[in-house]
């Protein structure tokens, strides 16, 4: 008889709250970015050989069935990344790095 139970999505949140696929270091964001760029599940499996092809299909199916929840998670991740980037830029402004480096160069004698 064909088992018709629901498969669990192969997704786990790590200690930092990052969603990873199949107990690997591959993030849900990475897998979905490849998918949204037009990569087939087989191409994604080539990019991420640590993720079984069946888990890629299951993850994509899960994301399609839970689009609102996945979108909310991705929005949260994006906001956290933006906050971290802003924090880094506030500590290390890059605007004047080029000018400071150029000012350290010795003039070339003519």
Which pLDDT score, from 0 to 100, does residue 95 have?
A: 64
Query: What pTM was estimated for this model as a whole?
Result: 0.77
Please tell me the total count of domains within the chain. Answer: 1
Could you tell me if residue 1 is inside a domain?
no
| pLDDT the model gives residue 102 | 79
Asked if 23 and 52 touch (Cβ cutoff 8 Å), the reply is no
Is residue 2 in some structural domain? Answer: no
CATH number at residue 58: 1.10.10.10
Could you list the residue range(s) of the whole structural domain that residue 93 is in? 11-104
Q: Find out whether 13 and 62 touch, Cβ atoms under 8 Å.
A: no
Q: Can you tell me the distance from the alpha carbon of 100 to that of 98, in angstroms, rounded to the nearest whole number?
A: 5
Count of beta carbons in the 10 Å neighbourhood of residue 30: 16
Query: Residue 55: inside a domain, yes or no?
Result: yes
Express each pLDDT in 19-52 by its tens digit.
999 889 999 999 999 999 999 999 999 999 999 9
On whether residue 30 sits in a domain, the answer given is yes
Task: Tell me, yes or no, whether 6 lies in a domain.
Answer: no
21: number of CA atoms within 13 Å, CB side?
Answer: 24
Q: For position 5, what pLDDT does the model report?
A: 80
Q: What is the pLDDT of residues 59-101, one digit of tens each?
A: 999 999 999 999 999 999 999 999 998 998 888 776 677 777 7
What residues contact residue 47 under an 8 Å CB cut-off, 6+ apart?
A: 34, 39
What tokens does 60 get?
A: 């994509």
Residues contacting residue 45 through CB under 8 Å, at least 6 positions apart: 51, 52, 53, 56
Question: In the chain, where does DSSP find H-type helix?
Answer: 28-36, 41-47, 53-65, 67-91, 97-104
Is 5 among the domain residues? no
Does residue 109 sit within a domain? no
pLDDT of 109 above 70: no
């Amino acid at each position: 008889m064909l088992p018709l139970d629901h498969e669990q999505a192969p997704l786990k949140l790590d200690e930092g709250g990052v969603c990873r696929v199949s107990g690997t270091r591959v993030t849900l964001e990475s897998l979905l970015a490849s998918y949204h760029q037009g990569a087939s599940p087989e191409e994604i499996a080539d990019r991420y050989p640590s993720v079984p092809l069946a888990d890629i299909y299951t993850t994509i199916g899960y994301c399609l069935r839970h689009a609102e929840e996945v979108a909310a998670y991705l929005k949260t991740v994006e906001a956290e990344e933006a906050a971290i980037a802003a924090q880094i830029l506030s500590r290390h402004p890059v605007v004047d790095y080029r000018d400071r480096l150029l000012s350290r160069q010795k003039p070339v004698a003519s």
